[in-house]
Structure 1
Amino acid sequence: MIIYEKAPAKLNLSLDVISKREDGYHNVEMVMTTIDLSDRVAIHELDENRIEISLESRYVPSDERNLAYKAARLFKEVYNIAKGVHIDIEKSIPVSAGLGGGSADAAAVLRGLNRLWSLHIPVQELAEVGARIGSDVPFCVFGHTGVATGRGEIVNRLPAPPSCWVVLAKPDIGVSSGTIFEQINLEKLIHPETGRVIDALHENDYPKLCHSIGNALEEVTCSAYPEVKRIKNKMAQSGAEGVLMSGSGPTVYGLVKHESKAQRIYNSMKGFCKEVYYVRLIG
């Protein structure tokens, strides 16, 4: 039997860093939603008690460094499963892009193994297991739209955002979240209006959402990688109605209400940036 799981990318509609924790992580407040850009994860059982990862990407390891591998290993440890699994990952989400591709894969493995072995573990419990792998994994276990607090492990559902298109532009660089968080000066951060973003979702107010999105890490990343700022400016000049960097970057996205305009912006950005996508919000 083969279990298939979709692993959608996430976007940050708001990302705020509140404080530094004693464990070295940061307390955050993040409003996230999913988009129609997904990896595809296929899982089947092996005769031997081992974990195998197969994928075609020169940028993603297929050993114990892979978050999907870590998810499978942790799942087997927590639930005392002495069986092997083969995990095949078909990558579509850009790597080190601020779109949570690795976290989405790990979350898909947790959900998939739960189905493969018919354990009926509640989603909340899977998210708690996922928190031990990475800060974005709990949200990716739930999917849809939500606000994550703590270091990302506390997730509360929110209404889906208004229907619109998203144009994504990723420069040809990879950004390490850890490196960006190390450079944070909490006293100088520009905090986003997360409350207004949440209100916009509850009110299904697209203009309000576009004017409220914000990311406290944006200036930190743009200082280290000026091309991110250039892409953001170009996206805004092209006519996107709300423009923001997702996660720790470097991907910049633009919210666009109508497909014809999204297509024009996509074409405009293609001449400016190598990796460009246009997709729907599905959160």
Structure 2
Amino acid sequence: MIKFPNAKINLGLNIVSKRPDGYHNLETIFYPIGIKDALEVVPSQTGGDKLHISGIEVDGPTENNLVMKALRLIKRQYMIPDLDIYLHKQIPFGAGLGGGSADAAVMLLLLNELFTLRIPEETLITMASGIGADCAFFIKNKPVFARGIGNEFEETDLSLKGYHCVLVKPDIHVSTPEAYSLVKSAQPEVPLKEVIRRPIEEWQGLLVNDFEVSVFAKYPQIGKIKEQLIHEGAVYASMSGSGSSVFGIFKELPEWLPAFDNCYVWKGAL
């Protein structure tokens, strides 16, 4: 069986307070986009569970991959055979796009379907939350308003259908712990829920990502990409998550874009 985990972008990201446990409370809109990995599961040919990765190179041993963590989570409760897992990476990592979380969540969904485990959706969400803060989003995989550490969801009717996205990922890795260590928590001047009710043309400057101030200061190239996308006609542009990818939302996809040196560029409909 094969499935295609997709990425997400953050529409606004407010770090509203620091928690006693050291984590931060945040508010954001998670919005799915069309750049996808491919995840296939077949019976093991040699015994034991093995993860085979192609496409974008992934650092670290395969046993630490979130896909394998999802598999082990299922195997602790259900009897399923040994598997060969094939993961083709297309979603850049270290980009604020949730690629690893998407892969893990879709692994839970795939195993539930393939082996007819009949795990309820709410249980899958709980399981996914134990893997990663934003992992649970990919179980439902539709726009949500998220709060807490990114694991408490409220449905939203926000739709960007008819718009297009240009995503630019420079060859820069932004450490998530470092990004959180530099960010300052504060209540937003205009509540996120109020901003997204306005026309998208009014979002810029109101729908903000609090990580941008510190990340752009350390990595000016990322800030320049945002400026370029706005210059090319994006009605809204922002960094996603804690970086380093930047997206621009366009009414029409530009026929020509400036050269983004040492960058991965994706264009698609929303």
Fold shared, TM-score > 0.5 on shorter chain: yes
Maintained 8 Å contact 1:49/1:82:
no
User: Which residue type is aligned with residue 64 of structure 2?
Assistant: R
Aligned-partner SS, 1:64: helix
The Cα of 1:223 is off from its aligned counterpart by 1.9
User: Which residue type is aligned with residue 167 of structure 1?
Assistant: V
Maintained 8 Å contact 2:42/2:83:
yes
Aligned-partner SS, 2:166: strand
Aligned-partner SS, 1:249: coil
Maintained 8 Å contact 1:38/1:92:
yes
Which position in structure 1 is the counterpart of 2:267? Answer: 278
Superposition pairs of residues 242-253 of structure 1, within 5 angstroms: 242-253=236-247
Aligned-partner SS, 1:11: strand
Which position in structure 2 is the counterpart of 1:88? Answer: 86
Which position in structure 2 is the counterpart of 1:21? Answer: 19
Maintained 8 Å contact 2:200/2:236:
no
Aligned-partner SS, 1:215: coil
Superposition pairs of residues 152-167 of structure 1, within 5 angstroms: 152-163=150-161, 164-167=163-166
Please give the alpha-carbon distance, in whole angstroms, between the structure 1 residues aligned to 2:73 and 2:177: 22
Superposition pairs of residues 256-275 of structure 1, within 5 angstroms: 256-259=250-253, 261=254, 263-264=255-256, 267-268=257-258, 270-275=259-264
Please give the alpha-carbon distance, in whole angstroms, between the structure 1 residues aligned to 2:6 and 2:190: 25
Which position in structure 2 is the counterpart of 1:241? Answer: 235
1:229 to 209, 214, 223: 223
Number of aligned residues: 268
Give the TM-score taking structure 2 as reference length.
Answer: 0.90
Maintained 8 Å contact 1:16/1:192:
no
Which position in structure 2 is the counterpart of 1:99? Answer: 97
The percent identity for this pair of structures is 31
The Cα of 1:48 is off from its aligned counterpart by 7.5
Maintained 8 Å contact 1:33/1:146:
yes
Which position in structure 1 is the counterpart of 2:31? Answer: 33
Please give the alpha-carbon distance, in whole angstroms, between the structure 2 residues aligned to 1:68 and 1:20: 29
Please give the alpha-carbon distance, in whole angstroms, between the structure 2 residues aligned to 1:51 and 1:22: 38
Give the TM-score taking structure 1 as reference length.
Answer: 0.86
Maintained 8 Å contact 1:29/1:147:
yes
Structure with the bigger percentage of helix: 1
User: Which residue type is aligned with residue 65 of structure 1?
Assistant: N
Which position in structure 2 is the counterpart of 1:68? Answer: 67
User: Which residue type is aligned with residue 111 of structure 2?
Assistant: L
Which position in structure 2 is the counterpart of 1:140? Answer: 138
User: Which residue type is aligned with residue 140 of structure 1?
Assistant: F
Maintained 8 Å contact 2:7/2:35:
yes
Coordinate RMSD, CA, aligned = 2.2
User: Which residue type is aligned with residue 269 of structure 2?
Assistant: R
Please give the alpha-carbon distance, in whole angstroms, between the structure 2 residues aligned to 1:276 and 1:192: 31
Aligned-partner SS, 1:178: helix
Which position in structure 2 is the counterpart of 1:171? Answer: 170
Please give the alpha-carbon distance, in whole angstroms, between the structure 1 residues aligned to 2:18 and 2:205: 28
Give 5+ residue unaligned stretches, structure 1. none
Maintained 8 Å contact 2:164/2:269:
yes
Maintained 8 Å contact 1:103/1:137:
yes
Q: For residues 104 and 183 of structure 1, do their structure 2 counterparts lie closer, same or farther at Cα, with a shift above 3 Å needed? A: same
The Cα of 1:36 is off from its aligned counterpart by 1.0
Aligned-partner SS, 1:236: helix
Q: Which digits, 9 at most, give the CA deviation of each residue in 1:1-27, with x for residues without a partner?
A: xx2212110000121112222332211
Instruction: Report the more deviating stretch, 233-242 or 189-198.
Output: 189-198
Task: Tell me, yes or no, if structure 1 residue 5 matches structure 2 residue 3.
Answer: yes
Give 5+ residue unaligned stretches, structure 2. none
Q: For residues 230 and 46 of structure 1, do their structure 2 counterparts lie closer, same or farther at Cα, with a shift above 3 Å needed? A: same
Instruction: Report the more deviating stretch, 211-220 or 104-113.
Output: 211-220
Which position in structure 1 is the counterpart of 2:106? Answer: 108
